[in-house]
Amino acid sequence: MSFTFDPYKLRNADVTSADDVLMTNPTALTELEDYWSRLPRTKGVPDRTSVDPGEMGTLLEDSFILERVAPGVARIRVAGRNIAKLLGVEPRGLPLTAALLPNSRAALSNYLEAAFAGPSIVELPLVAPRAVGQPELNGKILLLPLRDNQGKVTRVLGALVMSGRRGLGGRRFEIGSDVPPRVQPVIKLRAVDETGPVPQRRPSLRSVARLDEMKKAKDVPALRLVVSNDNL
């Protein structure tokens, strides 16, 4: 999906207030993914602490950070002003699914889990349907996995961009069907599974000595019980 932004057309649009005009960066998703790809990585995924808002510049207005709280559920920890203006509420603390209409929330939960458990880069087309006082909006959302302080993939750096007028009140979205979703696993990276097997420890010196004793014991012939049938 491509967006064409015409600032002059938007500036001269027939709107009742400045808040009705929604102008987002059409290259924000590409710029954010480029920034994410340059961050230092642990097993292919950047650490949350490596994200520096001072280096993101204007991308902050359209960006957010999520925290995974349950399978398929992630709450918004921080979000840019454009996102707050678009939703019409302070998004911090809300689940990301609150930004979508009910018919798309289950699908978003599945894509969220793909981002965390894959881990994967996820990019989805979004549509805000037309309603009274609300023109149709088209846009995209991007999800980029991050590691927390324990090394687990429980954070996501993301961006939400829209083209057009917000209209009256906050907007909610559904996943579009005209463009295929993008789910791209991070290369050379195993999924982080909190319930997975415990990593094997290296054998201690005591364990090595014990193995040597067992090996030597196997080399010594054991006593065998010989049964004679002469007296039977």
- Express each pLDDT in 32-73 by its tens digit: 999 999 999 888 899 999 999 999 999 999 999 999 999 999
Q: In this structure, what is the dihedral angle of CA atoms 194, 196, 201, 203, given to the nearest 10 degrees?
A: 160
State the burial class of residue 23 (Cβ atoms within 10 Å of its Cβ: 0-12, 13-18, 19+). middle
Categorize the per-residue pLDDT at 10 as very low, low, confident or very high, splitting at 50, 70 and 90: very low
Sign of CA dihedral 161, 167, 170, 171: negative
Under 8 Å between Cβ of 74 and 91: no
> Residue 181: is its pLDDT beyond 60?
yes
Tell me the range of 167-171, 192-196, 209-213 where mean pLDDT is highest: 167-171
pLDDT at 75: 98
Instruction: Write out the two tokens for 181.
Output: 């979703």
User: Per-residue pLDDT tens for 204-217?
Assistant: 334 444 445 544 44
**Into which CATH architecture does domain 7-185 fall?**
2-Layer Sandwich (3.30)
Count of Cβ atoms closer than 10 Å to residue 181 Cβ: 15
